[in-house]
């Protein structure tokens, strides 16, 4: 993977259904060259397809549970993966894990935390809750479309229309509404630890500055950001081609005004579970 591949992935992060010709125009390559690079990343295991990412601020509730455990990595990640509502797991150096979960209420969240503490033998657990905006209600058709795109978010709408039993025009219209309301988007499943030429790392940045996330977005080598309401933190995923480059980025962030504390992790393993969509759909009342 090189810098051009990363640029392609960042565009797909913005819109996983972005047409090849538009990506080619933005990165200055031919359509065939972009297509070839995407297929090469899939073959190398760096890109594991496309799914749907729900907006954590607008649908149900979600949180990241940070775990410190001394058991073997595969065992811990297997335990985490068995919990209902799990979407994403990241393993860092030294027995550190981050699981992204969906939940209905505080009782369910506490049950998940107690389960993880008991089975992983965690000696430290922290919870980072996503902020909550207006709760959006989706129609049964919206859920049918989302679930039809679960395993391949770049499927042609005509295939989705055939599966859910409506016209292609209707599918396109509902998808446009879902995007305009920022409820969900097509999402590339990137296996970052598999990239040999690039190091990926994440930062949890504690700050009271409500504009801090926008400041972080100006930093070079940023992959993505999100924010948490409890505690007030900005989360960022970055990449670098050397340890020095990583250190330079961290120094830049630590020196920024408003930073209280920074927790960093080098990403050594990660897994994404598209079936979280079934869990959220059911909890939101979808009966299909």
98-112, 154-168, 214-228: least confidently modelled range: 214-228
Measure the CA–CA gap between 249 and 244, rounded to whole angstroms.
9
| pLDDT above 90 for 11 | yes
Cα separation, 251 vs 13, whole angstroms: 26
The class (CATH top level) of 194-268 is alpha beta
- What pLDDT, on the 0 to 100 scale, is given for residue 197? 80
Mean pLDDT to the nearest integer, 15-39: 96
CATH dotted code for 140-180: 1.10.10.10
pLDDT of residue 61: 93
User: Which has more pLDDT, 197 or 272?
Assistant: 272
**What is the per-residue pLDDT for 179?**
95
- pLDDT-derived band at 264, boundaries 50, 70, 90: confident
Share of the chain above pLDDT 90, in %: 67
- Residue 131: the pLDDT is 81
Cβ neighbours of residue 215 closer than 8 Å, sequence gap 6 or more:
209, 256
Q: Can 3-44 and 194-268 be said to share one CATH topology?
A: no
Which numeric CATH code is attached to 3-44?
1.10.10.10
Cα angle at 98 between 94 and 101, to 5 degrees? 160
pLDDT of residue 193: 84
- Tell me the CB-side half-sphere exposure of residue 69, using CA atoms within 13 A: 24
Checking if the pLDDT of 45 tops 80, the result is yes
Mean pLDDT, to the nearest integer, of 84-106? 92
* Residue tagged 């690039």 (tokens): 198
Cα 118 off chain centre by? 26
* Bridge partners, residue 234, by sequence: 205, 227
Q: Give the Cα separation of 58 and 51 in Å (integer).
A: 18
Domain limits, the chain: 3-44, 140-180, 194-268
pLDDT, residue 1, reads: 83
280 sits in which H/E element: helix 276-283
For 146-197, what is each residue's pLDDT tens digit?
999 999 999 999 999 999 999 999 999 999 999 999 999 999 999 988 887 8
Phi, psi of 43 (to 5 degrees): -65, -35
For residues 111-126, average pLDDT: 92
Q: How far apart are CA 154 and CA 167, in angstroms?
A: 17
pLDDT of residue 32: 97
Q: If you average pLDDT over every residue of the chain, what do you get?
A: 92
Q: What is the pLDDT of residue 133?
A: 78
Mean pLDDT of 68-90: 92
Predicted local distance difference test score (pLDDT) of residue 282:
96
Q: pLDDT band at 3, cuts 50/70/90?
A: confident
């Amino acid at each position: 993977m090189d810098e051009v591949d990363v640029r392609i992935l960042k565009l797909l992060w913005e819109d996983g259904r972005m047409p090849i010709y538009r990506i080619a125009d933005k990165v200055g390559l031919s359509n065939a060259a972009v297509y070839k690079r995407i297929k090469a990343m899939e073959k190398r295991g760096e890109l594991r397809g496309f799914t749907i990412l729900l907006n954590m601020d607008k649908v149900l509730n979600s949180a990241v549970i940070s775990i410190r455990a001394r058991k073997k990595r595969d065992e811990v990640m297997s335990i985490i993966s068995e919990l209902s509502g799990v979407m994403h797991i990241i393993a860092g150096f030294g027995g550190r894990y981050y699981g992204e979960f969906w939940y209905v209420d505080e009782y369910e969240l506490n049950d998940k935390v107690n389960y993880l503490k008991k089975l992983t033998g965690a000696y430290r657990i922290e919870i980072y809750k996503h902020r909550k905006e207006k709760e959006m209600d989706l129609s049964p058709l919206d859920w049918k479309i989302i679930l039809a795109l679960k395993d391949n978010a770049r499927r042609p709408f005509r295939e989705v229309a055939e599966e859910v039993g409506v016209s292609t025009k209707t599918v396109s219209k509902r998808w446009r509404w879902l995007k305009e309301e920022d409820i969900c988007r097509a999402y590339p499943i990137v296996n970052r630890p598999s990239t040999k030429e690039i190091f990926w790392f994440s930062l949890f940045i504690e700050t009271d500055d409500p504009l801090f996330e926008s400041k972080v977005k100006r930093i070079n080598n940023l992959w993505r950001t999100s924010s948490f309401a409890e505690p007030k933190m900005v989360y960022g995923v970055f990449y670098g081609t050397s340890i020095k480059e990583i250190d330079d980025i961290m120094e830049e962030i630590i020196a920024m005004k408003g930073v209280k504390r920074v927790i960093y992790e080098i990403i050594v393993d990660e897994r994404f579970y598209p079936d979280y969509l079934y869990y959220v759909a059911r909890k939101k009342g979808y009966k299909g």
